[in-house]
A and B are shown apart, each in its own frame.
Chain A
Amino acid sequence: MTVTEDAPAAVSAASEPPASTPASTGLAAILGSGDHKVVGRLWIVASLFHLLLAGAAALAVAAEKIDLSGADVLEDWLGPLYAYRSIAAAFLFLLPLTIGLATAIVPLQVGASTLAFPRAATAAAWTYLLGGGLLVGSVLIEGGPYGTDVEGVRLFVVSFALVLVAQAVAWVCIATTVLSLRVPGMTMRRVPLFAWSSLVAATVWLITLPVLAAITVLAYLDIRYGGAGGFFGGGEQTLYTRISWVFGTPSVYAFAIPALGVIGSVVPVFARTRHQRHRLAQGLIAAFGALSVGVWTVTGYGSDPYPWLYEGPWVVVSFAVLIPLLGLIGLWVATLVQGRLELSSPLVFGLAAVLMLLVGLLAGAVQAIEPIETLVDEGATPLFSTSWSAAIAGYVGLAAMIALLGGVVYWAPKLVGRTFDEAPAKVLAVVLLAGTVLWAFPELVAGLLGQPALPLVGVTENDAAIEGLNVATLVGGVVLALGVAGLVALFAVAARRDELPGDDPWSGHTLEWATSSPPPYGNFASLPEVTSEAPLYDARHRSEEGSA
């Protein structure tokens, strides 16, 4: 970090718009564009398409779990669909949505005219589209984890590896932009919180994704050359177990890192004041990121699949990760108290997200207390193996989703040049909050009652109660689907409107609001002087003081 602490000497030039603008329009502009806003939108739209597919799979699995006597409707599809919904929700929806938002917004926040390595970023986006499409195709031909078609399983592994490589490349572009393309005056300590959280997330994912990729490559070799006698013990049946550590604690917390940056960007704007202790907030986000590095919890290949379970480091991390989040919540409360609260829709999204994230982290801490047992088999089944663990992933993942969708609402003027209607957007934020509670809380309770994390595996006790809870989960899924559909409809309405939002409809604090909505190719015609983490807030106050 020391080498990048000082503002790069030549960055002023990086902020100057490129000499030429792209001549192509329409589809050609999308296919051949290296403009980070176009690439970012590509990631976001594709991720929402995958949310549709993953959501449908999740609802199908949830519906199947209402009757625990067996897989009546899905039959052989239950296992593949369960694995697909987890993998797709995380790697085809949530991370791509994060990458899309970061690709579009981070260069604007740091005052750069472009993303670092725009061609690589474009290639990453198209590789993700290709890999994602192949992955869906592999599941459709009964491949994927627990799949019956061996060729399909191999296709799944290869396409998943493609997706991982694409995301790693995209993260390199984002991290390099923050480290090397900042405008003069923007030291690391003045980097806006969303850009900072994107850097932290990039670092964490560039540690996590290669490990996942290596395991995926080994899985392919094992399925291709080892078969049932391979060290994976039969490839397709154990594939999901080998990669499911990324959905467990603490790795799953990494999905929420950029969400902290979104909330940190939104809170001071709608409190009409500065973020309290910006540097401390940066440190807390970095600490949260460091604690969410979970590559050391990779599933073991020996007789003990979870050698770290209930061991010191895992227990300590499960509790310690609460500290940065609580610290950030404290700073956000202080910021809101210090300023004049304006309950706009992005803030409602942010508050809903932070609440769900807190519940998820608390559930993660409870899971690490070994004496807390399931109410079945005298505690022989650890909470970690039950749907309690799946509920934690649900809380954290959905909190991240709510925050990122809030980010889309907040930065919509920069993304598409339109704003969402305020009142319906607020309602939809509450709907998503309610859906998250309905989806994840019953799974927590069902975990206590002994419902395994994998569906329909060995449930023998409390079936009636668990089935009732699974009905509530299904209802939660439907509410979430309605919330997301409502948001998409709201976006469609906003896109048809002729009314333009203006350059800075929220009176924002950071540099992305210093350019037009949507920003031109090259981003900025001129930039204000950066002397703090909130240059536009400074400029506004200087002019107010001058006029007074």
Chain B
Amino acid sequence: MSAVATTTPSPILTAPPAPPRRPRVLTVAAAFGGVASGLVVLTMLGVYLQVRGERLADGVPALPEDVTLPLTPGNMGLVTLAMSVVTVAWLCYSLRNEDRTHAYLALGVSLLLGVAFINATAYLYQQLSMPFTMTGTSGLIYAVTGAHLVMTFVGLVFLAVMGFHALGGQLTGRDAESMSAAALYWYVTVAVYLPVWYGIYVTK
């Protein structure tokens, strides 16, 4: 008994309590930020559709006559983002279950898919060779897709930063809120791409 009484307490037991967690702070902010960013893109899309509709009603083609808007890169972008939704969900699931190997793999694939989407859009711009002018709809097409590209880039950076936190061991299964916030922003980014894809690439 005496041995028990004189045992030095473990440093872990005597350490001060961990600083408190801020519940869902980042997730709530990411939700607001995602919706706000999405509204910027959707507003531009709405303006594009209205201007395009007016031109078509006046018998003026929506795009310059020598420009063809290919559907394939847009479709590839959609498929790429759809796959990234699965990989980001995989990432969050792995992190919650402390499966770091899968988490690293999922993070790598998610970032790769995000970069692939940006690459697909850049390739589309190259294929289009459409001049940037605001006298028709071409400038609006660049504005809408460019704004979504910015949103995608922000989402990627957010995912990457949280990913590095995870790599550094700062995010554990019980404290993965930051990654959930990044994932939420990414899901909104992907959701916003759906109307962009339909409004610009499908309806042309």
Contacts and interface: CB of A to CB of B under 8 A. Distances in A.
Nearest to A230: B134
Given A168-B36, A207-B39, A11 B23 contact: yes
Contacts of A501: none
B143 interface: yes
A14 B21 CA distance: 8
A229 B92 CA distance: 49
B135 A229 contact: yes
Given A116-B22, A211-B43, A214-B43, A180 B143 contact: no
A117 to B, nearest CB: 7
A166 B136 CA distance: 31
B40 A210 contact: yes
A226 to B, nearest CB: 3
A268 B154 CA distance: 45
Interface residues of B, number: 36
Interface in B1-60: 19-25, 28-29, 32-33, 35-41, 43-44, 46-47, 50-51, 53-54, 57
Contact of B33 (A13, A172, A221, A224): A172
A206 B43 contact: no
Given A172-B33, A181-B22, A206-B35, A301 B28 contact: no
Given A180-B28, A206-B36, A209-B36, A222 B22 contact: no
Nearest to B43: A214
A221 B135 CA distance: 11
Classify the interface of chain B: helix, strand, loop or mixed. helix
A3 B24 contact: yes
Interface string A273-285: 0000000000000
A179 B54 contact: no
Given A231-B134, A302-B50, A10 B25 contact: no
A117 B35 CA distance: 18
A230 B23 contact: no
A9 interface: yes
Given A210-B43, A226-B133, A14 B32 contact: no
Closest 5 CB pairs of A and B: A13-B20, A226-B134, A214-B43, A210-B39, A8-B23
13 contacts: A4-B28, A10-B22, A175-B28, A175-B32, A206-B36, A210-B40, A211-B39, A214-B41, A217-B40, A218-B143, A221-B134, A295-B43, A301-B51
Interface of A: 3-4, 8-14, 16, 116-117, 168, 171-173, 175-176, 179-181, 202, 206-207, 209-211, 213-215, 217-218, 221-222, 224-226, 229-232, 295, 298, 300-303
Given A3-B24, A215-B43, A226-B139, 20 more contacts: A4-B28, A10-B23, A116-B22, A172-B33, A180-B23, A202-B32, A206-B32, A206-B35, A210-B43, A214-B44, A214-B47, A214-B147, A217-B40, A217-B143, A225-B139, A226-B133, A226-B135, A231-B140, A232-B134, A302-B53
